[in-house]
Amino acid sequence: MAIQMVDLNTQYARIQDEINRNIQEVLDSARFIGGPVLERFRQNLAAYLDVKHVITCANGTDALQIALMALDLHPGDEVIVPAHTYVATAEVIALLRLKPVMVDVDRRTMNVTAEIIEAAITPKTKAVVPVHLYGQAADMEAIMRVAEKHGLFVVEDNAQAIGAEVTFSDGTVRKTGTIGHIGTTSFFPSKNLGCYGDGGAIFTDDDVLAQKLQMIANHGQSKKYHHDVIGCNSRLDAIQAAVLDVKLKYLDEYSAARNKVAGAYDAAFAGIDELITPYRAPFSTHVFHQYTLQVQNGKRDALKVHLAEKGIPSMIYYPVPLYKQKAFASYHTGELLPVTEYLSETVLSLPMHTEMTEETLAEIVEGVGGFFELNASR
Ligand X SMILES: *Cc1c(COP(=O)(O)O)cnc(C)c1O
Alpha-helical (H) ranges within 218-376 are 238-249, 251-269, 300-309, 338-346, 358-374
How far apart are CB 58 and ligand X at their closest, in Å? 8
Residues 293-332 that bind ligand X (CB under 6 A): none
Smallest distance from ligand X to CB 97, Å: 20
Between residues 302 and 315, which has the closer beta carbon with respect to ligand X?
315
User: What are the distances in angstroms from CA 115 to CA 95, 112, 147?
Assistant: 27, 8, 11
* Binding residues among 53-92 for ligand X as defined by CB under 6 A: 59-61, 85-86, 88-89
Q: Per-residue contact track with ligand X, 212 to 251, x per CB under 6 A? A: ----------------------------------------
Q: Which is nearer to ligand X, 116 or 368 (CB)?
A: 116
Site string for ligand X, 156-195 (x = CB under 6 A): -x-xx-------------------------x-x-------
Nearest to ligand X by Cβ — which residue?
60
Nearer to ligand X among residue 85 and residue 204 (C-beta): 85
Within 121-140, the residues that bind ligand X by CB under 6 A are 131
Separation between Cα atoms, residue 66 and residue 212, nearest integer Å: 9
Closest CA to 357 of 257, 278, 250: 257
The distance of closest approach from Cβ of residue 62 to ligand X in the complex, given in angstroms and rounded to an integer, is: 7
Residue of 224, 243, 237 whose CA lies nearest to 30 = 237
Instruction: Give the count of residues interacting with ligand X (CB under 6 A).
Output: 15
Cβ 237 to ligand X, closest distance in Å?
14
**Closer residue to ligand X, CB minimum distance, 88 or 138:** 88
**Ramachandran sector of residue 101 (left: φ over 0; alpha: ψ -120 to 50; beta: rest):** beta
Convert 97-129 to b/e letters by CB count within 10 Å (16 or more is b).
ebbbbbbbbbeebbbbbbebbbebbeeebbbbb
Residue 159 CB, shortest distance to ligand X, in Å, is: 3
Exposure on the CB side of residue 225, measured as CA atoms within 13 A:
0
Nearer CB in complex with ligand X: 194/351: 194
Whichever of 79 and 361 has its CB closer to ligand X, that residue is 79
Residues 5-64 that bind ligand X (CB under 6 A): 59-61
Q: What contacts 163, CB < 8 A, 6 or more positions away? A: 175, 176, 192, 193, 251, 252, 254, 255, 287
Buried b (16+ CB within 10 A) or exposed e, 37-74: bbebbbebbbebbebebbbbbbbbbbbbbbbbbbbebe
- Closer by beta carbon to ligand X, 157 or else 274: 157
**Interface with ligand X (CB under 6 A):** 59-61, 85-86, 88-89, 131, 157, 159-160, 186, 188, 198, 200
